[in-house]
């Protein structure tokens, strides 16, 4: 027979794994039914635990949603910040890598579920909207601003309206995600095409020798002379 402490190890590992298993079950339930209709008892059933066990780790559905957001987003930003701390080379390839990572994450089914819930249900559930803004939007903007500020300081990027509001650099990635969620079945566009177009837009927008757009006082294109 195994020693008592040896026999206890699988149970201990199982207990430690429960929060992650509940989060995965929560994501599946949110994906199937949305936030409002998702029920904690159904999350428990998916996770193979008692309902009380779910509430032991996550006292509310909002707390479970917050944990789901963190599980999918926090590791990405932690890794990107570590890369920024160590980076010494050109900044443009770093920005390209960052954009590629964002496209890859937004294309994942789990993050698409979270985005769909935020867009459809966030206005009715301010707590989950605030969670997503704090854990995803705020942290993502901070990473992007670090890259852009570094690029401007090194003379690789042209300072201007785009670098004053660098979050606009991510807009094509959000469009790609929304397109997949809404029109992907009717009019599929390969993810690599979205990414290539996105990177080309960024390269033109930030190039230090780029030509700034037409002045607001310039004639329009409606036949004016």
CATH number at residue 39: 1.10.10.60
Q: For residues 157-174, give the mean pLDDT.
A: 94
Q: Distance (Å, rounded) from C-alpha 106 to C-alpha 120?
A: 17
Torsion angle in degrees (nearest 10) through CA of 41, 70, 72, 46: -10
Would you say residue 9 has pLDDT above 50?
A: no
Question: For tokens 């294309």, what's the residue?
Answer: 107
Convert the pLDDT of each residue in 67-86 to its tens digit. 999 998 888 888 888 888 88
Same domain, 177 and 193: yes
Predicted pLDDT at 165: 95
Q: What is the reported pTM?
A: 0.78
Non-local (6+) Cβ contacts of 165 within 8 A are none
Q: Which domain holds residue 5?
A: 1-59
State the average pLDDT over residues 141-170.
94
Residues 131 and 167 grouped into a single domain: yes
User: What is the structure's pLDDT at 222?
Assistant: 43
pLDDT computed for residue 211 by the predictor: 52
Choice among 10-14, 171-175, 178-182, 205-209 with the minimum mean pLDDT: 10-14
Within-domain flag for 3 = yes
Q: Which residues contact 123 (CB under 8 A, 6 or more apart)?
A: 129
Burial pattern 172-191, b for ≥16 Cβ within 10 A else e, equals bbeebbbebeeeeeeeeeee
Contacts of residue 109, defined as CB under 8 A and 6 or more positions apart, other chains included, come to: 31
Please check whether residues 17 and 103 belong to one and the same domain: no
pLDDT cut 90: percent of the chain above it: 68
At which of 59, 79, 98 does a domain end? 59
CA distance 26 to 131: 16
Confidence category of residue 210, pLDDT binned at 50, 70, 90: low
Instruction: Quickly tell me which residue has 């469009």 as its tokens.
Output: 175
Domain boundary among 24, 43, 59: 59
Residues 6+ apart with CB under 8 A from 26: 38, 43, 58, 64, 65, 67, 68
**In terms of domains, do 51 and 102 share one?**
no
pLDDT of 14:
63
Overall number of domains in the chain:
2
Tell me what the mean pLDDT of segment 41-48 comes to. 96
Find the CATH number of the domain harbouring 97. 1.10.357
Q: What pLDDT, in 10s, does the model give residues 81-119? A: 888 888 888 999 999 999 998 898 887 677 888 989 999
Domain boundary (44, 59, 74) is at: 59
Residue 6 has pLDDT above 50, yes or no: no
CB atoms within 10 A of CB 60: 11
46 and 115 assigned to the same domain = no
Could you tell me if residue 217 is inside a domain?
A: no
């Amino acid at each position: 027979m195994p020693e008592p402490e040896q026999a206890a190890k699988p149970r201990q590992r199982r207990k430690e794994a429960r929060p992650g298993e509940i989060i995965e079950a929560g994501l599946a339930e949110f994906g199937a039914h949305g936030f409002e209709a998702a029920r904690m008892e159904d999350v428990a059933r998916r996770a193979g635990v008692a309902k009380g066990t779910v509430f032991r780790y996550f006292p509310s559905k909002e707390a479970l949603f917050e944990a789901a957001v963190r599980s999918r987003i926090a590791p990405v930003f932690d890794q990107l910040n570590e890369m920024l701390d160590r980076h010494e080379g050109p900044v443009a390839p770093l920005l390209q890598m960052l954009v590629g990572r964002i496209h890859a994450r937004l294309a994942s089914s789990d993050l698409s579920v979270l985005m769909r819930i935020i867009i459809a249900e966030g206005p009715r559930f301010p707590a989950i909207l605030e969670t997503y803004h704090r854990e995803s939007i705020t942290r993502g903007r901070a990473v992007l601003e670090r890259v852009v500020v570094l690029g401007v300081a090194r003379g690789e990027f042209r300072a201007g309206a785009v670098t004053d509001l660098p979050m606009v650099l991510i807009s094509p990635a959000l469009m790609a995600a929304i397109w997949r969620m809404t029109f992907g079945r009717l009019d599929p566009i390969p993810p690599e095409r979205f990414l290539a177009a996105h990177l080309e837009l960024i390269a033109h927008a930030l190039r230090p020798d780029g030509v700034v757009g037409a002045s607001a006082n310039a004639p329009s294109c409606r036949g004016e002379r």
